[in-house]
Amino acid sequence: MSQHSTTFTPAPVPDGRIPVNGKDYMADAKGNLTPIELIRPQHLLEDETVRKIMGYALALSDQVKRFKAHTFEDLGAFDEILAQEYKLTKGGPKGNRTYQTHDGLMKVEVRVADLIDFGPELQVAKSLLDECLNEWSEESRPEIRALITETFNTDKEGQVNRALLFTLLRMDVNDSRWNRAMEAIRQAIRVVGSKTYYRIQTRESFDAPWQTVTIDLAKA
């Protein structure tokens, strides 16, 4: 096991011990109290380990929130200086913009992505596509059949596969019902908001590939 040292201070996490009449207990997942001495040592060690990790995770989460707020404020202050001193506006109409050091070795990208949802027209599209599937022979267009089925197989939240939905829109199929279904999908798309993403990158030289500074735990 690799050894890592850090001066990072974890957030306070309760130790789970509940004193009752001068004796320490711990509650189980059902709320039942168990005397500490009756809990298996490996279970106590597991409890302690999870609480330790939780302390660092909570502190790190708080730091990431502060970092995002500081990034927003710092870039906003810079944009304000550009607007006041030089009558310049950074970025494009959607709010996407890039900031870079003078030596070209570090940059911060701001990307604004639309949040979309789908209206009732999507069900009209599905009905039209079902008509296509019912009338096409079993042997014809098997790849399109599979794609349609996978697209409209909803997940636990009842959401269709959005990536595959846009794949359908890019396909060219000579069928009037298909074309009406694609138009219904386009009509169903609704922008319900936007979300801002920050990407921070660095490179060792001007001709080296960019390396993203990892903040996402899954990619660290």
Q: Where are the domains of the chain?
A: 1-90, 93-220
Band of residue 2 on the pLDDT scale cut at 50, 70, 90: low
- What does the pLDDT look like over 190-207, one tens digit per residue? 999 988 889 999 999 999
CB 48 within 8 A of CB 14: no
Q: Which of 135, 132, 124 is nearest to 148 (CA)?
A: 132
- What does the pLDDT look like over 13-68, one tens digit per residue? 999 999 999 999 999 999 999 999 999 999 999 999 999 999 999 999 999 999 99
CB 145 within 8 A of CB 136: yes
> CB atoms < 10 A from the CB of 51, how many?
14
